[in-house]
Structure 1
């Protein structure tokens, strides 16, 4: 009995992976933000989220997730001692205040004031110019 010789199959050639590089689109021009605020009135979180959702074209719940995530990240950096620059608005940081001597306004007695930390905000030059109205 003759055994038939088994033919060995050559391993299949691997298909070369064709990588398509994604073209980077030019950043879209910033569209104007539609704001319906009245001067002197406080903007609620709900109204702010609705404005963000309308501006980005997403659901209010998605805007809430994005805004809360952004705030959490900024808060984490600030609490670690970093200065966080927020676009053309300004910078948020923690400032240390040294211990000092103060005076009780009622009695005039000198009083020791302990060292402390405070949350501080410094506006950017761009924002300052816009607030001042180009003066």
Structure 2
């Protein structure tokens, strides 16, 4: 019997940085307490969410642009039964990476 083909090596999973970890790094860099840095990040998240809900685009220089995009209603298929179903129109948050960030990675 022939040997089975070798499986390709699994990609290394990228580390996930949490808001708490960002807060700790921000606190060290800006000489803030962890509590202050965490509050700043929470406020930033809240402000971004508020403006996205209003329909505004949020430009973060050097990072990219966040905006809400509308998805039209469409026909889909239930994978379990194969039955056609109608998927309602919805909104999603889209992110477009800034050129500077794209080139630096």
Question: Do residues 86 (structure 1) and 56 (structure 2) align?
Answer: no
Structure 2: runs of 5+ lacking an equivalent: 1-12
* Consecutive unaligned residues in structure 1, runs of 5 or more: 1-38
Aligned residue runs from structure 1 range 1-135, under 5 A: 40-131=14-105
Q: Which has the higher helix share?
A: 2
> How many residues get paired?
93
- Whole-angstrom distance in 2 between the partners of 1:90 and 1:46: 22
| Greater fraction strand | 2
Structure of greater relative contact order (alpha carbons < 8 Å, 6+ residues apart) = 2
Provide the C-alpha distance between the structure 2 equivalents of 1:110 and 1:100, rounded to a whole number of angstroms: 10
Q: What's the TM-score, normalizing by structure 1?
A: 0.61
Higher alpha-carbon Rg = 1
